[in-house]
């Protein structure tokens, strides 16, 4: 199985801040990396697919980058509705696997 | 807009079989550009992919659960189902059904059900 490791596990930030979350794969996954946002009691929602493509309807303050083993999700100008948990997921090979999650909290 | 809805018992006894169904609305499960997956999430923990099915009936399962999992599809009812046998308390989780769009090449989970909590307890 491909292991996905996110860092940090949690972070505190203020509205308007720029934050970055890193995801590292245990082997190269090309650009087969997706990012999700999950709010309490809700299903995850895809933000970014194929490492850097913005899902329809997702605000442009979200962006993704990377390839191979190292990937980054960047949130520019954090908004109140962005406080949530973020997961990366590799779709390079089954079993598809997720990172452990990064919780973004209000400072 | 495609919508998915999980249904099934919220309480299952240890050693029994967990059975859930995901009904797809707003689109055909046979559309040909989606896989259909089950994912679970224990309380306060991360996401685990259980397996997927294509409308042809072809399946892929997570090896960690493969010996206990069966996913099936009924295109006439526009739904797919999960059976997980010999459950223990470790199988207590919120279970989600989701679709994987492979038109992008990245198989992202583009639509999700709301999730259903299944508790394994006697």
Determine the pLDDT at residue B31: 81
Whether pLDDT at A89 is above 90 = yes
Q: Measured at the alpha carbon of residue A77, what is the angle toward residues A74 and A78, in degrees to the nearest 5?
A: 80
Residue A40 Cα distances to A73, B41, B115, B117, angstroms: 20, 12, 12, 14
B64 touches chain A (CB under 8 A): yes
Q: Is B5 on the interface with A (CB under 8 A)?
A: no
Q: Tell whether the model's pLDDT for residue B102 goes beyond 90.
A: no
Smallest CA–CA distance, residue A90 to chain B, in Å, is: 9
Top residue of B47, B100, B114 to mutate, by most chain A CBs within 10 Å, is B47
- Over range B96-118, report the average pLDDT: 93
Minimal Cβ distance to B49: which of A46, A50, A97: A97
Residue B84 has pLDDT above 80, yes or no: yes
Average of per-residue pLDDT across B81-109: 94
Q: What is the pLDDT of residues A19-72, one digit of tens each?
A: 999 999 999 999 999 999 999 999 999 999 999 999 999 999 999 999 999 999
**Which two structure tokens, joined as six digits, stand for A51?**
């490492």
Beta strands A33-38; A85-90: pairing state: antiparallel
Tokens of A89: 């997921």
Write down the pLDDT at residue B105.
80
Q: Cβ A34–B109 below 8 Å, yes or no?
A: yes
Residue B1 has a CB neighbour count (10 Å cut-off) of: 6
Residue B32 has pLDDT above 80, yes or no: no
- pLDDT value of residue A95: 97
Q: By CA distance, what is B100's nearest residue in A?
A: A91
Q: What is the mean pLDDT of residues B3-29?
A: 97
What average pLDDT does the segment B12-27 reach? 97
What pLDDT was estimated at residue B96? 98
Q: What is the pLDDT at residue B59?
A: 97
Name the residue with higher pLDDT: A28 or A106: A28
- Rounded Cα–Cα distance for residues B103 and A61 (Å): 25
pLDDT greater at residue B49 or residue B101: B49
B113 contacts on A by Cβ (under 8 Å):
43
B100 CB neighbours in chain A (<8 A) are 91
- Tell me if A94 and B52 make a contact (CB, 8 A cut-off): yes
Q: Which residues contact B58 (CB under 8 A, 6 or more apart)?
A: none
């Amino acid at each position: 199985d491909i292991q996905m490791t996110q860092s940090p596990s949690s972070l505190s930030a203020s509205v308007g801040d720029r934050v970055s979350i890193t995801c590292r794969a245990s082997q190269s996954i090309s650009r087969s990396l997706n990012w999700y946002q999950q709010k309490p009691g809700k299903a995850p929602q895809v933000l970014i697919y194929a490492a850097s493509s913005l899902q329809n309807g997702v605000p442009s303050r979200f962006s993704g980058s990377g390839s191979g083993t190292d990937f980054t999700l960047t949130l520019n100008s954090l908004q109140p509705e962005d406080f949530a948990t973020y997961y990366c997921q590799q779709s390079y090979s089954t079993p598809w696997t997720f990172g452990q999650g990064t919780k973004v909290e209000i400072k | 807009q495609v919508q998915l809805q999980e249904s099934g018992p919220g309480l299952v006894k240890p050693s029994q079989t967990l059975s859930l169904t995901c009904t797809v609305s707003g689109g055909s499960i046979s559309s040909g550009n989606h896989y259909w997956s089950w994912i679970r999430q224990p309380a306060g923990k991360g996401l685990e992919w259980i397996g997927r099915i294509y409308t042809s009936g072809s399946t892929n399962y997570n090896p960690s659960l493969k010996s206990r999992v069966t996913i099936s599809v009924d295109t006439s009812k526009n739904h797919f189902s999960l059976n997980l046998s010999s459950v223990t308390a470790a199988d207590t989780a919120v279970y989600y059904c989701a679709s994987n769009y492979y038109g992008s090449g990245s198989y992202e989970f583009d639509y999700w059900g709301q999730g259903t909590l299944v508790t394994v307890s006697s």
